[in-house]
Amino acid sequence: MFGLLKKAAEVKGRVGLAFGRDRIALAVVTGSGERAALERCEAIAIDPAGGADAVAAAIRAAALPALPISVVLNPADYQLALVEAPEVPPAELRAAIRWRLKDAIDIRVEDAVIDVFDVPAQSRGGQGRMMYAVAARRESIDRYAAALAAAPTFGVVDVPELCLRNLAAALPTAARGVALVHLGSSIASVVLVQGRTFYFARQIDLQSTLHAASGAAAAAEAAPDTGNIVLELQRSLDYYERHFDQPPITRIALSPAGARATALAADLARETGFEANVLDLNAMLHCPAPVAEAVQSACLLAVGAALREERRSL
């Protein structure tokens, strides 16, 4: 996505980082494809009151290897929009997209960093070429760059949807198409992937569908309404089949690992008749030591960032 290193190079691995309020999720992946190995996967505690200095100190103490670094944007840092590609030369694409986004996002385009990524051509007649546009808050990009100023090699800032694509692509069933449903505390993100090709993304608001629970801790583990998720997932799968003329996707992966994902996988398998499983990093990647469920949950997007293989964008 937002590249900060101009010189492309062949690399043997990548570092993924995802910043939280009181921790940094860190993942180091070496190799690629079937030979990808998760060499490190850990959550590093930081003092929320320490600000940028605490983050920078934690990064220095982590002794990151001299590999390109991908940082994952937080949801509040960016907006994603599916737009029709303007008919302009490639050099003018981002500028044209910027003004096309002006009334489609809540972020001021003047204060945003814009990037784009393609999706396959749609088969429906009369439909123009579509692409996803990402508008990231410039202050957020600058904040990540400052925090990693002392890091060995800061490569790109990425979005969660593409990190989820990387995870879905690492599944054995990815070549036949897979829907990955990633459960956040209030939002579920759905991405549809075939091989490494990203087709579609959408978000499902879980706040209005969570079963009643008392207390913040209970609410975080509350089971979302399966019926609503089935409905929204089916709409996404119908769009994929109809607009891209692809065979049906009948495989669903749930993440991150945990009680919510396990329960929802069983519900989705029963309601849809599809194959539904919880994503497990230990089964997907070569792991020198088993990665605990809690660590997978904390570091999943960082692992997705570290699985990035693209060398350049549009």
Residue 32 lies in a domain: no
The whole-number average pLDDT for the span 162-183 is: 95
Contact (Cβ atoms closer than 8 angstroms) between residue 71 and residue 149: no
Q: Which domain holds residue 110?
A: 75-137
From the number of C-beta atoms within 10 Å of its C-beta (0-12, 13-18, 19+), residue 207 rates as: exposed
- Total domain count, the chain: 2
pLDDT of residue 197: 95
Residue 215 structure tokens: 């207390």
Examine the domain organization and report whether 93 and 184 are in the same domain: no
Contact (Cβ atoms closer than 8 angstroms) between residue 134 and residue 78: yes
Residue 150 lies in a domain: no
CATH number of the domain at 105, please: 3.30.420.380
Antiparallel, parallel or unpaired: β 187-194 and 178-183:
antiparallel
pLDDT of residue 155: 78
pLDDT of residue 207: 72
Residue 267 structure tokens: 């519900």
Examine the domain organization and report whether 110 and 182 are in the same domain: no
DSSP assignments along 126-182, one per residue: TPPPEEEEEEEEHHHHHHHHHHTTTSS-EEEEE-HHHHHHHHHHTSTTGGG-EEEEE
CATH number of the domain at 176, please: 3.30.420.40
Residue 120 lies in a domain: yes
H-run or E-run covering 281: helix 281-284
pLDDT of residue 267: 95
Above 70 in pLDDT, residue 98? Answer: yes
Examine the domain organization and report whether 204 and 127 are in the same domain: no
Examine the domain organization and report whether 242 and 185 are in the same domain: yes
| Beta-strand runs (E) in 195-298 | 197-205, 251-255, 275-278
pLDDT of residue 123: 73
Examine the domain organization and report whether 102 and 191 are in the same domain: no
Percentage with pLDDT > 90 across the chain:
56
3-state SS assignment for residue 196:
coil
Preceding amide of 224 cis, omega within 30: no
Above 60 in pLDDT, residue 209? Answer: no
Examine the domain organization and report whether 186 and 261 are in the same domain: yes
Antiparallel, parallel or unpaired: β 251-255 and 275-278:
parallel
- Look over the chain and give the mean of its residue pLDDT values, rounded to a whole number: 87
Examine the domain organization and report whether 125 and 197 are in the same domain: no
pLDDT of residue 213: 45
Examine the domain organization and report whether 179 and 257 are in the same domain: yes
Above 60 in pLDDT, residue 27? Answer: yes
Above 60 in pLDDT, residue 103? Answer: yes
Residue 307 lies in a domain: no
Examine the domain organization and report whether 191 and 260 are in the same domain: yes
Contact (Cβ atoms closer than 8 angstroms) between residue 195 and residue 273: no
Q: How many CA atoms lie within 13 A of 299 on its CB side?
A: 28
Residue 204 lies in a domain: yes
**Domain ends where: 111, 137, 163?**
137
Examine the domain organization and report whether 176 and 264 are in the same domain: yes
**Domain ends where: 113, 137, 161?**
137
Residue 258 lies in a domain: yes
Q: How many CA atoms lie within 13 A of 93 on its CB side?
A: 18
Q: 3-state DSSP helix/strand/coil percent for the chain, to nearest 5?
A: 35, 30, 35
Sequence-distant (≥ 6) Cβ neighbours of residue 124 within 8 angstroms: 242, 243
Separation CA 59–CA 152 (nearest Å): 10
* 226/270: higher pLDDT: 270
Least confident of 22-26, 119-123, 287-291: 119-123
Number of Cβ within 10 Å of residue 314's Cβ equals 12
**Domain ends where: 90, 120, 137?**
137
Neighbouring-strand partners of residue 224 = 210
Q: Which amino acid, 212?
A: A
Residue 1 lies in a domain: no
Residue 38 lies in a domain: no
Examine the domain organization and report whether 131 and 177 are in the same domain: no
Examine the domain organization and report whether 261 and 209 are in the same domain: yes
Q: How far apart are the first and last CA of the chain?
A: 9
